[in-house]
Amino acid sequence: MEKSSGCIVCGKELTYLEIPKRAKCVYCSDVQDTSTLCVNGHFVCDRCHRLPAEDVIEKYCTTTTILDPIAIAQTLMKNPTVNMHGPEHHFLVPAALIAAYYNVKGNLDTKVQKIGQARQRAEMIKGGFCGFLGDCGAAVGTGIFLSLITGATPLSREEWKLSNLITAKSLEKIAMHGGPRCCKRNSFLAIRSAADFTRENLGIVMPITTPITCQFSALNKECLTKDCPFYLD
Ligand SMILES: [Zn+2]
Ligand SMILES: [Zn+2]
């Protein structure tokens, strides 16, 4: 995928219109006149074009109405501010899950507030956490998600159990694929595991209907290729 030119949502070429059109920004949902659209119709406003990764993640997750957390994550991963690997994935995972969860439940004010809290908590998970502390930040992100939606604290009982258990389950899935780290593989594994966990334990279904196929292997020099479940030949 070409990241330096073309549409930052899908990578396809941009078209320049002689007469501006009204279009909705993919990331912030603002409706504006634009002379630039991609061939798939995507529009990204100037303000969103200039945002750093964490702002793009927060903005998109608070405004999107998508129910599939993998689809939310994949759109964000294609944004050029989100690196192939990097600690922004520690926020991307809980943000995508919180967005999907509250989009399913229909509680949008709470969603905005919880995504802001997730961003603050995710800042505590530094880069390299996986290899240096034995706790992949994508897995910790699932714990942040469950802690926030259940209101867990260090003194809770059931919420505390579930928050630690969701991290354990996703971390095991991540660990069993071995290293080297891949923030894309681990984010996909964490989100899928968290969606299963949320359905089984809270009865809320975040439907994963997009196939989980990786579009980033060419950018990853340590890609496991055929040993990665998401590798596309
Ligand atoms: Zn596009
Ligand atoms: Zn925008």
18-62 pLDDT per residue, tens: 999 999 999 999 999 999 999 999 999 988 988 999 999 999 999
In the chain, the amino acid numbered 127 is G
Q: Give φ, ψ of 32 to 5 degrees.
A: -140, 165
Expressed in angstroms and rounded, the spacing between residue 92 Cα and the centre of ligand 2 is 18
Beta-carbon contacts of 168 under 8 Å, excluding residues fewer than 6 positions away, are none
What is the three-class DSSP state of 35?
Answer: strand
| Cα 1 to middle of ligand 2, angstroms | 22
Specify the pLDDT at position 3: 41
Ligand 2 midpoint to CA 23 (Å)? 10
Bridge partners (DSSP) listed for residue 23: 32
Q: Which residues make up the environment of ion ligand 1, defined by Cβ < 5 Å? A: 7, 9-10, 38, 40, 42
Residue type, 27: Y
Token code pair at residue 111: 């969603």
Average pLDDT over residues 141-168: 97
Cα distances from 105 to residues 68, 151, 192, in angstroms, run: 13, 16, 18
* pLDDT at position 5: 66
Q: What is the mean pLDDT of the chain?
A: 94
Cα of 118 vs centre of ligand 2, distance in Å, is 21
CA of 27 to the centre of ligand 2 (A): 5
Q: Tokens representing 25?
A: 């920004």
The pLDDT score that the predictor gives to residue 175 is 97
* C-alpha 65 chain-centroid distance: 14
- pLDDT tens-digit readout, 161-198: 999 999 999 999 999 999 999 999 999 999 999 999 99
Whose atoms come closest to the Cα of 38: which ligand?
A: 1
Nearest listed ligand to the Cα of residue 34: 2
Cα 194 from chain centre: 12
Do 200 and 62 meet the contact criterion of CB atoms below 8 Å apart? no
Ligand having the closest approach to the CA of 41: 1
Q: Tens digits of per-residue pLDDT, 91-110?
A: 999 999 999 999 999 999 99
The answer, as to whether pTM is greater than 0.85, is yes
How distant, in Å, are the alpha carbons of 11, 135, 144, 162, 207 from that of 148? Answer: 34, 19, 6, 11, 20
What's the CA-to-centroid distance between 56 and ligand 2, angstroms?
Answer: 9
Query: What mean pLDDT do residues 139-143 have?
Result: 98
